[in-house]
Amino acid sequence: MAQMTMIQAITDALRTELKNDENVLVFGEDVGQNGGVFRATEGLQDEFGEDRVFDTPLAESAIGGLSIGLALEGFRPVPEIQFFGFVYEVMDSINGQMARTRYRSGNTKQQPITIRSPFGGGVNTPELHADSLEGLVAQQPGLKVVIPSTPYDAKGLLLASIRDNDPVVFLEHMKLYRSFRGEVPEEEYTVDLSKADVKREGKDVTLIAYGAMVHACLKAADELEKNNINAEVIDLRTVSPIDVDTIIKSVEKTNRVVVVQEAQRQAGVAANIVTEIQERAILHLEAPVLRVTAPDTVYPFSEAEDIWLPDHKDIMEKVDQVINF
């Protein structure tokens, strides 16, 4: 099996599906000759030609609208929004239009679009590059929202997303692009878009996260082990839909939960998960379900981002509280 970084796994998935399906089109700002600002589309234009992999003019709103139109013509667009902070520019196309197309056409039309976009903090970017805005799309019925945390999942989830007949927002945490390698099969495979992954089994407490925070949880779990606390770590992989079954099964075993997100605290994915847990498993809980999140400010100017971002220590602190409740 090949060892790949997450960015390589993503390129690999795009190449695989460009080969498999002539209706797949990859486009966005700088994705052509330049191979994308993170090189996710490196070499793809040379390999598949300018009709399949191409630069767009600089307008996210039109990238969204173009995708909708191409999907109506039977293509499978895989547009890139260069950074997810620019999603506000294309919000109407995503939440207002493509998410509603199946519904408003009375299930006669569909939008098999996969919007790829980098996001996530810790890499010293200017404003509106690093924000965790998955909540904006997770709130919109009609969309699926996928966030891989490993190279293996990135490839399998991206292939599943492109093959899915509903619109998918596929968010790639920038910090994970090149920070480590993992095993990625060369052949094609998919990872189910409705299944969370138990990354580490444990019996004392359940840590639920997605994206880069999965790695913060794993680090916390390693540290906790030293104090004889045995943490289970669940990687949601999709934040819409949520795999409630996997979560509840774990809660019934550990009876204590900490939900972790990089996004701000207010009205986020974590709040939704806490609600699902208390609605379905309140009698299994030995302590309130706690959250680890960033504070409710705008994503910080980069100088303060290291303190602002949640880390494994914040997670350990909350675990301590639920264990000693």
Ligand X SMILES: Cc1ncc(C[n+]2csc(CCOP(=O)(O)OP(=O)(O)O)c2C)c(N)n1
Segment contacting ligand X by CB under 6 A, of 81-89, 90-98, 116-124, 238-246: 81-89
- 282 contacts ligand X (rule: CB under 6 A): no
- 29 contacts other proteins (rule: CB under 8 A): yes
When binding is defined by CB under 6 A, the residue of 23, 55, 89, 311 that contacts ligand X is 89
C-alpha to C-alpha distances, 172 to 133, 177, 250, nearest whole angstrom? 12, 8, 26
**Active-site pick, 129, 173, 215, 312:** 129
State which of positions 50-69 bind ligand X (CB under 6 A): 58, 60
- 298 contacts other proteins (rule: CB under 8 A): yes
- Angle ∠(149,189,155) on CA atoms, nearest 5: 30
C-alpha to C-alpha distances, 87 to 84, 137, 146, 212, nearest whole angstrom? 5, 10, 15, 20
In a 13 Å sphere around the CA of 188, the CA atoms on its Cβ side amount to 14
When binding is defined by CB under 6 A, the residue of 48, 84, 86, 152 that contacts ligand X is 86
- Closest distance to other proteins from the beta carbon of 126 (Å): 5
Mask: binding to other proteins, 43-62, rule CB under 8 A, as x and -?
------------x-xxx-xx
Segment contacting other proteins by CB under 8 A, of 15-23, 231-239, 279-287, 305-313: 305-313
Pairing state between β 144-146 and 114-119? unpaired
Q: What is the sign, positive or negative, of the torsion defined by CA atoms of 267, 270, 276, 277?
A: negative
Pairing state between β 2-4 and 182-184? antiparallel
| φ/ψ (deg, to 5) at 181 | -110, 160
Active site residue 129: yes
- Closest distance to ligand X from the beta carbon of 125 (Å): 10
State which of positions 114-173 bind other proteins (CB under 8 A): 124-129
Pairing state between β 53-55 and 24-28? parallel
| Residue 22: count of CB within 10 angstroms of its CB | 11
- Closest distance to ligand X from the beta carbon of 165 (Å): 28
- Closest distance to other proteins from the beta carbon of 309 (Å): 10
- Closest distance to other proteins from the beta carbon of 318 (Å): 12
Segment contacting ligand X by CB under 6 A, of 82-90, 114-122, 176-184, 262-270: 82-90
- Please say whether the beta carbons of 131 and 88 come within 8 A: no
- Closest distance to ligand X from the beta carbon of 47 (Å): 23
When binding is defined by CB under 6 A, the residue of 8, 82, 261, 264 that contacts ligand X is 82
- 308 contacts other proteins (rule: CB under 8 A): yes
| φ/ψ (deg, to 5) at 288 | -60, 150
- Please say whether the beta carbons of 284 and 255 come within 8 A: yes
Q: Of 190, 133, 180, 181, which is closest to residue 159 (Cα–Cα)?
A: 190
Residues engaged in binding other proteins (CB under 8 A) = 29-30, 32-35, 37, 55, 57-59, 61-62, 85-86, 88-89, 124-129, 265-266, 295-298, 300-305, 307-308
Catalytic residue numbers, as ranges: 129
Residues engaged in binding ligand X (CB under 6 A) = 29, 58, 60, 82, 86, 89
